[in-house]
Amino acid sequence: MKKNILDFSYEELVEEFSKFGLEKFRVDQVWDWIFKKKAFDFNGMTNLSKEHRALLSERFYIGIPELLDMQISKIDKTTKFLWQLEDGNTIESVLLFHPDRVTACISSQVGCPVKCAFCATGQSGYVRNLSAGEIVAQVIAMEKERRVNIGNIVYMGMGEPLLNYNEVVKSVRILNHKKGKNISMRRISISTVGIPEKIVQLANDLPEVKLAISLHAPTNYKRDLIIPMNRKYSVEEIIHAVKEYQKITKNRVTFEYILIREFNDFVDDAEKLAELLRGIGAYVNLIPVNPVETDSEIKMERPHHWAIERFKEILDKHNIENEIRREKGTDIDAACGQLRRRHITSRKAKQTK
């Protein structure tokens, strides 16, 4: 049975190639074709002999997902991708364009088990974890489709990365490897709702990788209402893990805070958030909610402009570094999970006809 060559780390592939007599430098050649030249067929790797190409084709395949849909913002070039995997499941990825860099937001799971009230991904259910190769493939497939060089990666697409810990860590190491994408660890971020023991483990395994916490409320009462997993891992436990993480890494931690009108945008919320983050090297991203259809009793409506500014001013007063995130791709389905959800709904509708 053929194996996805992208699921192998460099060291694993060296060992695998040696089993059938291929030298280490052949791994260098193959990775150069895949990661640098975006060649996804062994037959096109012309510096390998025909015999070697045939040998590789017999044992491996290059698991690049099929592009089902791509939306490009006319405003800022933000690009949303819907991919179909080998088993027919779909995932999303996003490219964000900045003046000095291109950032990829990539998925780590098919769907998501966390079911945050404000997220379309969780509303469409959880299917499975992605393999390291399926995670890596999103990056090189986007580069080929849009002819760009991705310099920053954020694990902030579909899924909770720390619930797929081993494959996520493996994919980071593949993307960081000098023979692969060669992306600096410091340009890779992992965003999580907060799984305390995995946060500490991440500090030990990948101390240079950046950490972002999807917090979205400063108290357990409010966080329970929008992030069901908070009932298992409390705000206090997450903050304790962040402090342990910082002892090990000395890294500043980003806190994502989605602002929802008349739910978590009050003065009291801002004051409690500032108190919670006191003494932590923290940076807060304030994100006006992207309205989605949801079963939650909480209405997902954007706060008034003055309420957003008021929240920011309170954090400023307490010397909590923060910014209001500028929206990208407002003219496309840029919120995570929207494209996949629409595709699933459309497919179900066709099946019932």
Q: Which domains does the chain have, with CATH numbers?
A: 3-61 (1.10.150.530), 66-352 (3.20.20.70)
Query: In the predicted model, what is the mean pLDDT of the chain?
Result: 93
Cα separation, 266 vs 285, whole angstroms: 16
- CB of 169 within 8 A of CB of 206? yes
pLDDT of residue 346: 58
CA distances from residue 142 to 46, 114, 243, 261 in whole angstroms, order as listed? 24, 26, 35, 35
Binding residues for [4Fe-4S] cluster: 112, 116, 119
336 has catalytic annotation:
yes
Least Cα distance to 238 among 287, 265, 276, 204 occurs for 276
Residue of 16, 92, 236, 262 with catalytic role:
92
Residue of 105, 134, 167, 336 with catalytic role:
336
Binding residues: 112, 116, 119, 159-160, 191, 214-216, 290
pLDDT of residue 291: 76
pLDDT of residue 331 exceeding 90: no
Binding residues for S-adenosyl-L-methionine: 159-160, 191, 214-216, 290
- CB of 111 within 8 A of CB of 126? yes
92 has catalytic annotation:
yes
Identify the band that residue 339 occupies on the pLDDT scale cut at 50, 70 and 90.
low
Q: What is the dihedral of CA 212, 124, 95, 214, to 10 degrees?
A: -10
pLDDT of residue 123 exceeding 90: no
| Phi and psi angles of residue 36, each rounded to the nearest 5 degrees, phi first | -95, -45
Encoded tokens for 219: 């108290």
Q: DSSP E strands: which ranges in the chain?
A: 3-4, 60-61, 66-72, 79-84, 90-98, 101-105, 109-111, 126-129, 152-155, 188-192, 210-214, 253-259, 282-288, 321-324
* Matching residue, tokens 């893990």: 241
pTM score: 0.93
